[in-house]
Amino acid sequence: MNVELKNIGSGAIREVRVEGSLFLCWACLWFGIPLFLQKLHKLGAIMVALWVVIMGSLITLGDDNIIMILCTFIYIGFGIYLGINSPKIAIKNYLQNGWEFNEPDSDVSKAVKLRLGI
């Protein structure tokens, strides 16, 4: 399900996916690039920081250290969580930054509002 959001200032319209996707789940693991593209800079920075810790511990301590293993599990778990929830987080972020539903009375918009608790 997709919902259209409209920028109040510029009038630009953007279609945003509401459900998570398996592609997004795995793509978030690749440096968090989809998060940066959805204007979720803090979450993307967390993914990059975790990746740096994993690679730094791999380079300095070798591949059988507990820090790398623990951070890898956190990284994968966080990637799965973001793959499922980042569209919802992105919609909330858009609504807080000057966007609104293009058709606020449509069934899709009402369902999204109900799902997000707005």
Say which amino acid occupies 75: Y
Q: How far is CA 30 from CA 6, 15, 24, 50, 99, in A?
A: 29, 23, 10, 11, 28
Q: Tokens 């997004």 correspond to what residue?
A: 24
Tell me the chain's radius of gyration from C-alpha atoms: 17
Pick from 20, 38, 39: which is nearest to 79 by CA? 20
What is the number of structural domains in the chain? 1
Report residue 21's pLDDT band, with 50, 70 and 90 as the boundaries.
Answer: low
pLDDT of residue 63: 65
* Furthest-apart CA atoms within the chain: distance in Å: 57
pLDDT(102) > 70: yes
Give the predicted TM-score (pTM) of the model: 0.70
pLDDT for 39: 80
Question: By 3-state DSSP, what share of the chain in percent is helix, strand and coil, each rounded to 5?
Answer: 60, 10, 25
Considering the chain, what is the average pLDDT of its residues?
82
pLDDT of residue 6: 92
Higher pLDDT, residue 13 or 33? 13
Which are the contacts of 118, defined by CB distance < 8 A and separation ≥ 6?
A: 95, 112
Reported as type and span, the H/E element at residue 15 is strand 13-17
72-98 pLDDT, tens digit each: 888 888 888 887 887 888 888 888 888
Q: Domain containing 37: what range?
A: 2-116
Give residue 116's pLDDT band: very low, low, confident or very high (50, 70, 90).
Answer: confident
Written as six digits, the tokens of 36 are 């940066």
pLDDT tens, residue by residue, 36-67? 887 888 888 888 888 888 888 778 877 677 87
